[in-house]
Structure 1
Amino acid sequence: MATDLNKRKLINYRGIISFELPEDWIEEYDDNNGGAFYEDLPNSGTLRVRLISIKVPQSSNNIYATDVLNDFSSNKESKAILLTNKNAYNMFYEQVKENEIDITVYYWSLVQSIQYNKTRLANFSYTILTEELDKKHIKLEIDFLTSQIENAIFEPLYTDIS
C-alpha cells in the first residue's frame, strides 16, 4: 500500500533544517551517516540527509550560495538556481548498478548563506529500485520529496555542524 502523502510529520533535522515527510515513514539517525527516512515496505525508497558547514577564510571574497552548489555538485550539468527563499538549489538523478541491481538515485542540494563567509549545505538523496519508477505512487512520492526539499526551512540561529 502506498504512503498517504497528505498525512505528514515535521522533521527538524539536527535543529538546523525543517521539512515534512509522510507520517508513517521510519526515521533513523546516525552521527556519521546522517538521517535516513523510509516507508517500512519491501522495495520502498530511502531518503538520506546530510549537513555540512562551509567556511572560507575571512580574507576571501563573499561566497554565494549558488557558487557553492555549482562547485560542490558531482553533476556539472546540473546548475544551481536561487529559490525565492534565497536558498540555492539543484537537483539531478543518476541510474547505476549496485550488486547487479539497477537503482536510481535522486539528489537534491540546498545551500543557505548565513554570513559573508559561511554557508550551510543540506544534501538529500533518494534511492529506489529503477524497476519501481514506473509506478504512479513512486512518481508522486518523488514529486512530493522535491517539493518538500525545495521548501525546506533552515533555522535562523546558526548551529555549528562540523
Structure 2
Amino acid sequence: MKLIKYNKGIVSFKLPINWKEEYYDDGDAAFYRDDVDSGTLRLSVQSSEAKEEYNESIELSSASGIYVEDGFSLKEEVKLTNEGDQDLLVYSWTIIVPINSKGRRTILFSYTIPASKEGEAEIGLELNFIRNTILKASYSKEDN
C-alpha cells in the first residue's frame, strides 16, 4: 500500500501500490488500476466560507448516519449516467470538514465503472476497499 497525501495532506489515504495517480491543473486527482475497463477513483476538494459558524450538529441534508473515523458525516450516492454510448455507474462519497470557525471543505470521492460490470466480484471487492479507505482516511481541519 502507498500513502496518498493529497494537496499537502488535506486528505490522506492508502491505495494499492500499483494504482496510477493523475493530478490535474484544477486541483482534482484520479487514481486507477492500469487495466482495461478499470474503475476510476476521483477526488475533488472545494473550500468555502459558511454563512453561519460551523458546529458539529450541521450535517448534510441527506446524511446517511455514517461517519468517517475523524467524525465527519459521510453522504453516499450511486447514479447511472451515460457517456457517449456507454452506461456508467458513479458511486460518490461526500464529506464536509470544518476548516476554521467559518469555513468548510467539501471533499468528493467518486468511483466510476461501466454499468455492465455491476455485480462482478472484483468490482464488489474494489468498492468495499474504496469505501473502507474513505472511512479510514484522515481529513485535515487546517487551512492549507
Q: Determine if the TM-score, normalized by the shorter chain, exceeds 0.5.
A: yes
Number of matched pairs? 142
2:63 is matched with: 79
**Alignment counterpart, residue 20 of structure 1, candidates 14, 29, 40:** 14
1:94-114 CA-to-partner distances (Å, cap 9, x unmatched) read: 112221211100001111113
State the secondary structure of the residue aligned to 2:54: coil
State the secondary structure of the residue aligned to 2:124: helix
Indicate conservation of the 8 Å contact 1:11/1:19, yes or no.
Answer: yes
Identity %, equivalent residues: 31
1:94 is matched with: 79
Distance (Å, rounded) in 2 between the aligned partners of 1:155 and 1:116:
14
Point out where structure 1 has 5 or more consecutive residues left out of the alignment.
1-7, 71-77
Matched, 1:63 2:51: no
Q: How large is the Cα RMSD of the aligned pairs?
A: 2.0
- More deviation in 133-142 or 79-88? 79-88
State the secondary structure of the residue aligned to 2:18: coil
1:45 is matched with: 39
1:4 is matched with: none
- More deviation in 106-115 or 139-148? 106-115
**Alignment counterpart, residue 117 of structure 2, candidates 128, 132, 144:** 132
2:130 is matched with: 145
Say if 1:55 and 1:125 are closer, same or farther in 2 by CA, change over 3 A.
same
Indicate conservation of the 8 Å contact 1:106/1:126, yes or no.
Answer: yes
1:109-145 CA-to-partner distances (Å, cap 9, x unmatched) read: 1111132211111111111001112211110100110
Point out where structure 2 has 5 or more consecutive residues left out of the alignment.
none
Distance (Å, rounded) in 1 between the aligned partners of 2:97 and 2:66:
10
Distance (Å, rounded) in 2 between the aligned partners of 1:107 and 1:69:
14
Distance (Å, rounded) in 2 between the aligned partners of 1:69 and 1:51:
16
Distance (Å, rounded) in 1 between the aligned partners of 2:92 and 2:58:
17
2:48 is matched with: 54
When the two structures are superposed, what TM-score results if normalisation uses the length of structure 2? 0.88
When the two structures are superposed, what TM-score results if normalisation uses the length of structure 1? 0.79
